[in-house]
Every structure is written in structure tokens, then in C-alpha cells.
Amino acid sequence: MTKKQKKLLLRIAVSAALFAVAFFLPVKGIFRLFVFLVPYLTVGYSVLFKAGRNILHGQVFDENFLMALATVGALAIGEYPEAVFVMLFYQVGELFESIAVGKSRKSIGSLMDLRPDRATVERDGETVTLSPEEVRVGEILIVKPGEKIPLDGTVLEGSSSLDTVALTGESVPRDVTVGDTAISGCVNLSGLLRLRAEKPYGESTAAKILALVETSSANKAKAENFITVFAKFYTPAVVLAALLVALIPPLFDGAWSAGIYRALSFLVISCPCALVISVPLSFFAGIGGASKKGILVKGSSYLERLASASVVLFDKTGTLTEGSFLVSEVRPVRRTKEELLELAALAESYSNHPISLSLKTACGKELDASRVSEAEELSGRGVKAKIDGKTVYAGNRRLMEECGVVCGEEDGVGTAVFLCAEEDGDLRYEGYILISDRIKSSAAEALAALKALGVAKTVMLTGDKKAVAEKVGSELPLDCLHAELLPADKVAIAEKELAGKAPKKSLLFVGDGVNDAPVLALADVGVAMGALGSDAAIEAADVVIMDDDLKKLPLAIRCAKRTVRIMKENVLFSLLVKLAVLILSALGFCTMWEAVFADVGVMVIAVINAMRAMRVKEKN
């Protein structure tokens, strides 16, 4: 517990002890009032202070005003034990609420562990320790085992395993070596690393995630906004109703003391604490539970929309597929497969394009860079290089046509890299290599889970060739797919799906958050997949899944549905109990003792129920 919570607990304990003593003391009259005033003020002075302060600031009708009015009124009509007990039990409920909110906030606040405390930098020939905000782009960082990586950087020396659990929720470490990117907020587990800072701290991954978490409460759900407005009109209406309860029956029976007592009980019961507290707490707990699984939700409004998802649009590359290209076919004309692969790898050896990297990986041997000269990247077509003094072209069909080389149709699905090489002064066709992307192992299971959760339609959108899209579609349980799309085409399809979906249902778009920003912005909920290290994904999306696990999408929806269900349970339970006890109170069948149980008891039950949203289940 916090210092403030411990202080409140102490006040409750002291007040309860004083209340027990006062209850059994054989005193009467004005002395009995003073005896009960001591425990009353001990536990309730903060409520009276808040009520008075809010009245002075024009905020009259809130739960503090209702509690103050009801208990002071009880003291005025001589119901001293009831006044103390109402205030005592109310403060017990406030303590429960504070502990619950603190626990929920802690689950989100655990992400604050991402914040690095210091950075060790090589500057002017010396090693100095600075605040991460003071580090300049391009400076060399030293990160020892056990330390957090302070800024996003490129590994210059060393290799290590990084603990990414605070970012992704996954316990499996991520290995990095020379040339790899190390993300701020990760913990260096083993080897010493020298990094070159690539971004200032304000633009680092850790800083962006922290900013996201800190502002997540700004986007309120419709249910939260409704409860806020409801409480604003509900409270004065209740005060008016209590006034009528106090005045009208005594006009007929003359029992003014009984009428005032009924009105005070009515005020205690009507306090909307359970509604005002449990609804936002349910969403807050849901966001906290999701964050522990590496799913960042930018506000309760997006959690609410996730729960009503009916149409999900997927980007292909990097979302449904791995986004890492592999050689699937090698079709030589005049060489062996190994020779064609080596020729392609040498031609592409100076390129960092994913296709080039896949060719170098497939070659599987150490490449002699001295054999390559005059390497040139031909934008949108391929590469040109001199290998062993002879010109080689590697690229798409368009490049072959420019070279005057005739190549037949490729046999297979994927991206074809055609090659031609100089021989006897002419360019001759050497064959082609087929590059393909792999479907994620979790994709089929994730799509099936979405259907089980009530998603009516799943659609794949891709700019890739139709044959490639159809191959992916044949292996996954998609409802439909669209291929060879430009960004504008994706937007048009998303608009059509938005217009056709059922009322009060949501459309989700799942992509990488970089190339598909227009659709991410258009969708009811934009979900960025595999956003570790992607600034644009974190900024553009409404929900950020911090690793590449597609199964976390149905997990996010399951979390959202459970949160909304818990919120509705709290609202229904609170309203039904309060309505029943309010009627009994107005008719004189309910004392202030029952009233306080109805008010604070309902609040405590609702708060405990709301905290269940923190427990995110992997499966139903």
C-alpha cells in the first residue's frame, strides 16, 4: 500500500476502535453527541473538507456532498451511530477503490521500467555517464550486462541476448550481434555492447511507448462518457427526490423526524460511487491486463471497439506472412544451381534489399567481394555488377527486356530474380531464382480464433501479384482477398467494408503501420503488428502488438470482450440493487444501516469484479 493508503487505513482502524468505545459508553444527551463526533471526524474530516471545497468551486453535487449531507443530517436528528457507521464504511470502500486502482495502474506502470536511468557514452576520448536526454545522435554507447539500452542504436561491437519482456510480454530473449538494431528499453543480459545512437531519446521506442501509456486515458469509451454525464444529472435529481421524500409523507402523517431519516437513507443509497468508479476501473484494468501481454491499447474507446469487431482486414507481408524472403526455386539454363545462386549472391552483395539478403543467405558460402566491381543498383529493376570482369544483370523481367534478353515464363509462385551475364561480348540468359515469403505459423490458428470470437469476415489486402495472393489465400481460412492493390485501392476497399458492416460493429485493419497509414487511420481500430522498433507503427495505430505473434490479435479481442462484459455486469448490478433499496427506503422499509450496506457494499463488489479484467486469459 502507498503512504496515503496506510494513513487512511490507520484512520479507519482508530475510528472503528473509538466507535466501539462510544457505542457502549453509558452517556446521554449532548455528551453522547460529542463521544460520537470524535470517531466521526477522525474518519470523515477529509470527506467534509472535499465537499466544502467543491461547493466553493461550484461543484456541488458529487459523492462527497451526498455523504456529508446524509451523515451531518443523521447527527442533527440524533442518529449518531448511523452517522459514524455510514462515514466509516464509506471510507472502507474508498480504500478498496484506491488499492484496486493502484493495482491496475501498477500493471500499466510496469511499462515505466522501460525508462532508462542513465547512459554511458564515449565522449572526447573518455567514458562519461549522462542522462539519456543528453546523448547526441551518432555518439557511441557502452551497455554492460544487466543495464537497460538507453536509446535505439546499431550494434558496432559485441553480441548479446536482450530481455524484451517489458516491450513484448515475451520471456524469450532476442539475440543481437554486429549490424543489428538494439531497441531502447530492452535489458542487456550477457555480453558488453558498443552501440551507435541512431535517434535522440525523445524519438526512441521506449519514449514513444511511455508517451502512449501516459496518454491512454485520454480516449474514453462511450460507456465512460455516458457515466460521467449520467452522474452530473443523476446527483441533483436524487437530492430533489430526497427532499420530496422528507417533505411529502410528513404532510399527511406529521412524522417529520421519520421523513428526514428516510430522506437521509435515500441519499446514502443513491450515491453513484459504484457506477462512477467501476466503469472506468474496468477499462483501466483491461488495458493493464493487455499491456502485460505486450498489447498496448491507446484508450478505453479502442478497447470498446475491439470488443465489437466484425470485419478484420489484413495486410499480407509481415502480417499474415513472415516478411522474410526465402529462395524457393532455382532454375538455371547454362550453369548448375549452385553456380547460379553464387552469381546472383555476388551481383547482389552490395545491396541490403530483403531479396538480396535472401540470395546471400541461400548461397550459404563466404563470398569473395574482390570478384565484384562497379556494382550499381537500378531503381525498381534490380542490380548491375561486374563479376570477374564480366557484366552481370540480376533483377525483374523489365530489366531483362531492357538488356534485350528473352526469358520464358517462371514456373512457380513468388518473386522471380532473372539473371543474364556477358559472354563473348553478348548478354546471355542464365536462368531465374524464385523468392517467396512464408506464411506465419500462427496465422491459420489466429484466423480460426477470430471466427470463434464472432468475427464475421476476414479479408486480405496486398499489393503483391494475384498468383502469390491466391497461394497464401489457399492455405489460410480467409473469406476473401484482393491483390495487386495500390494504397488508394486499399482505402477504397476499406471504405466499402465500413459501409457494409452491421451497425454498432467495428472494422479492424491489421498491418505494419508504415505503408498502410491511410487504412489504419480510416479503420475503426488500426492494429500495428510486430511494432518493436517501428516508430510509425506506434504513432499510427490505435492498438500496438509489440511482437510478431498474430495470436495476440484474438487475445486482444478476447480481453476487450471480457472487459466490456464485466463493465456491463457492474452497471446492471449497481442499478438494480440501488433501485430496489431506493424504493424500500422511500417506503420506510430500509434503515440507514441497510442503506450503507447497499451503497458501499455494491461499490466494493463492483470494484472487486472490475479487477477481474486484469486477468487476461490465453483461451476461453
Amino acid at 350: Y
φ, ψ of residue 349 to 5 degrees: the values are -65, -25
Residue 119 parent element (H or E): strand 119-123
pLDDT tens figures, 123-159? 888 889 988 888 999 999 999 988 888 888 999 998 8
pLDDT of res. 407: 87
φ, ψ of residue 115 to 5 degrees: the values are -65, 115
**DSSP code at position 599:** I
By annotation, the residues acting in catalysis are 315
Q: For the chain, which domains are there?
A: 117-150+152-198 (2.70.150.10), 300-322+439-560 (3.40.50.1000), 323-438 (3.40.1110.10)
The residue length of the chain stands at 620
Paired strand residues for 437: 325
Q: b/e for 274-312, b at 16 or more Cβ within 10 A?
A: bbbbbbbbbbbbbbbbbbbbbbbbbbbbbbbbbbbbbbb
Whole-angstrom Cα distance, residue 486 to residue 488? 5
Whole-angstrom Cα distance, residue 119 to residue 129? 6
Q: Are 507 and 498 in contact (CB under 8 A)?
A: yes
Residue ranges of the chain with per-residue pLDDT less than 70: 1, 60-62, 97, 100-115, 165-172, 205-232, 268-277, 380, 513-517, 531-538, 592-593, 595-597, 599, 617-620
Whole-angstrom Cα distance, residue 618 to residue 535? 28
Residue 38's Cβ-count burial label (10 Å; 0-12, 13-18, 19+) is middle
Separation in Å, CA 594 to CA 270, 422, 590:
12, 95, 6
- Give ∠ CA 387-361-326 in degrees, rounded to 5: 115
Alpha helices (H) in 196-335, listed in sequence order: 205-214, 222-253, 256-270, 273-291, 300-307
pLDDT of res. 140: 93
Residue 397's Cβ-count burial label (10 Å; 0-12, 13-18, 19+) is middle
Paired strand residues for 390: 387
End-to-end CA gap in the chain: 32
Mean pLDDT of the chain: 81
pLDDT of res. 437: 80
pLDDT tens figures, 455-502? 999 999 987 778 888 888 899 999 999 988 877 788 889 888 888 888
Amino acid at 424: D
Task: List strands edge to edge, sheet with 119-123.
Answer: 126-130, 119-123, 140-143, 193-197, 153-157, 181-182
φ, ψ of residue 426 to 5 degrees: the values are -120, 155
pLDDT of res. 557: 94
Q: How many other CB atoms are found less than 10 A from the CB of residue 89?
A: 21
